[in-house]
Chains A and B, each alone.
Chain A
C-alpha cells in the first residue's frame, strides 16, 4: 500500500502559491463567523419565543395562581447541556473564523473537520425527520421543510468539505506541528462518542437532576413544585450515635436475645420522632461497659439497600474473577476440555436475563418442585427443602450464585481476548528455562493480563453496583438494592422527584467509587 506524503505535498503547494487565496480565506473566515453568530442567535430567539417561557414572562399578576419559577420552566424546556453546547459551538466557530484570518493551516484543517461533521449532522437530522414523517399518521400535513432544509444544508456543507479537501493547501500556509495534529485528529475521532454521550447519557441524566429538585409525582398531571435540596436532605440524613447495651441490674450484664446477641438501647426518642431509624449497630470492643455504634438514617431502606449492594458486588465480583480466570486460561490452553469450556462460557450469558431470572426462580422454588432442593436432598446434603428466595439469610447467597453463573462468562471472554494477545514464544522460552506451569501463570500470564483484568473488574463492579433485573425478579420488595429501591420509589410509591434524587445519589456514589477504584487497580488512564 502506498500513502501520499501529505507534508511534502502541502509544502510544495504553498511554495507555488505564495499570495493566492487571501480572498478565499476571508470568505471562509466570514462564513464561519456568520455560522457561529447564527447558532447563538438561533438559541436566543428560540428561548425568547418559546411559548412556555413567554407564558411565565407575561404572567397575569392578577391571576390567583402564583407564577411558576422561570428557572425551572427554562430548565425543563431547554436543559443546561444543549444551550451550553450550542453556545460553545457558536463561540468556537467565531473563534475559528478569526483564526482563519491568520491563514495558518491548522485553522484550515479544523474548518475541514467542522464541514465534515456539519454535513453528517445535517444528514442525520434529515433522516430522523424523514423517519418521523413516515411514522406519523397520514392525515397530518407532511412537513417537507423539516426534511428539505437539513438536506440543502447538508449539500452546502458537503460542497464546503469537498472544496476544503482540495483547496485548503493553497488557501492556508505553514505547517501543523505534530502535537497540534494529534490533538486535532483525536478530537475528530472522539466526536461520535461525545455525541452519543450527550444524547443517551448526559441529557437524560440532566432531566433526572432537574426532577430531583422538585416534588414531581410519577405519571401525574400535577404541576411539580420546586423544592430545592429537600429530597437530598432526607436521603443524606445519616448519623452516627453511640448506644449502650440494655443493662440487666440483677445479673450485672447486658441483656441478650435467645440467639446470644446483645440487645442495644435505641437512639434518643427525639431522633426517632425526627424520623431516624437505626440500620446497623456495630459493637465497639474497647469500652468497659458494652457500647455500640448505631448508624441511623432518615431513609433506612436506602441505607440498607446501599449495604446490600456493596456486599453483593464485593462477593460476586471476586468469585467471578476467579472463575473467569480459570475458564479463560483453560480455553486458551491446549487442554482437551477446552471445547466444553467454550460452550460453558457462552450458554449462561446468551440466555436473556429476563428468562434466566425466571429459570432460577423456578429452580430455587422452596417446595418439591424446586430442582435445587431436590438435587441437594438426593445428594443427602439437606433433609428438608430450603426456602432460598424467602429466607432472608439465604437470599443474598442465592442472588450471588445466580449472578456469578450469569456474568462470569462475560469476564472470561474479555480475559480470553487479553490472553490471545500474549505472544506464545514467551511461554516457550519460559518452558525452556524450566519454569513450571504455575510459575508461568504468575510470572507471565498475570502481569501481562493485568490491564485487561483491570478493565474487566471496573466494568463488572460498576455493573454489580447497579444490579436490578435479578433482585427485581427474584425478591421484589423483600431485598432491595440501590437500583431496585430507586425503582420501587418511582413505580410503587409514585415519588418521581424523590426517586430522581435517589438516582443522583447513586450516580455520585458510584462516580466517587469508580474514581478511587480505577486508581487503586492502576488501570492506566494517564
Chain B
C-alpha cells in the first residue's frame, strides 16, 4: 500500500472518530433524558443505570393526563410561530434597507439594533412588565408576542443584512432598469434569493421563543391558560409530593422535543431545497 493511501485512510478514520465524539457529546444527554423519562423516582435517585430497570409509563401519563400541558403546547406553538413570522417580516425590511440602500445613519442604526442584545433580560424585566400592562396584554400570549422581538429581531436583522450584502449588485440594477420600484425589487427579486437565510433565521427565532422562560413566567403567571411549555414544565408538582419531579420533566421534554426535531428535519430538507430551486428558476 502506498504511503499516500495510508495517510488517506488515517485521515478518514480521524474524521469519523471526531464525528463520533461530537455525536456522543450532543446526543448522550438526550438519550439520558429519554431513559430517565421511563424510570421510577426511586431508581433515578439511587444509582445511575444506563437502562431503566423497571420501565414505567407513569411519567408520560402524568404529563399527558391533564389539559395543562396540551394547552401549553398550543400556546407555545402560537407564540413562537407568530413571533418568528413577525420578526422575519420586520427584520427583512430592515435588513434590506441596511444591506442594500445607501443613506446617512446606516452604521448608527446597525448598532442601535445590536444594542437590544447588550443587556441581560433581567434588567428590562420590570420595565417590560409596566409596558405590557400599559398595552393591556398582560396575562395573554400577546404579552409574549410583543416582548419576544427583543431577542429575535436583532439577530434576524444582522444575519439577513449580511446575506443581502452578499448578493451581487447586478441583480438589482437590472430590476431598476426594468422600471421596478425599490419595494418591488426587494419583494420579488432579492427576498427569494435569501431563502436559505430566511429559513435559518426563522428557525432560530422560533426555537429561541419556544425555549424562553423568564418573560413567559412573569407575564403569564396570573393566567394558567396562557402559559407556554417551559413555564408549565417548571410548575410540575410531580407524582410524589416530596421529590423533585425530574422524571416527569424529562418525559415532558421528550413530548416537546421529538415532534419539534422531526418537524425541523423535514422542514430543512424539503422546504430549503424547494425554496432554493424556486429562486434559481426565478
Contact = CB atoms under 8 A, between A and B. Distances in A.
A459 B149 CA distance: 15
Contact of A510 (B118, B175, B199, B250): B118
A207 interface: yes
Nearest to A490: B122
B13 interface: no
A413 B204 contact: yes
Interface string B262-282: 001100100010001000000
A354 B211 CA distance: 8
Contacts of A129: 136
Contacts of B52: none
Given A347-B261, A358-B249, A451 B162 contact: yes
Interface stretch (A186-194, A231-239, A268-276, A281-289): A186-194
Contacts of A201: 115-116, 124, 150
B107 A340 contact: no
A499 B126 CA distance: 12
Interface of B: 16, 18-19, 22-23, 25-27, 29-30, 32-33, 36, 44-48, 89-91, 93-94, 96-98, 101-104, 106-107, 109-128, 130-131, 135-137, 139-140, 142, 146-147, 149-150, 153-155, 157-159, 162-163, 165-166, 175, 178-184, 186, 188, 196-197, 199-201, 203-204, 207, 210-211, 213-214, 229-230, 233-234, 246, 249-250, 252-253, 256-257, 260-261, 264-265, 268, 272, 276
A196 B104 CA distance: 21
B153 A196 contact: yes
A344 B183 contact: no
Chain A residues touching B, majority SS: helix
Contacts of A462: 114, 117-118
B214 to A, nearest CB: 8
Contact of B166 (A206, A374, A451, A514): A451
Contacts of A455: 155, 158-159, 162
Given A350-B260, A363-B29, A369-B46, A487 B122 contact: yes
A203 B204 contact: no
A128 B118 CA distance: 29
A351 B136 contact: no
Contacts of B109: 190
A129 B135 CA distance: 8
Given A128-B136, A347-B27, A469-B213, A416 B200 contact: yes
B48 A374 contact: yes
A7 B131 CA distance: 44
Interface in A341-366: 341-356, 358-360, 362-363
A254 interface: no
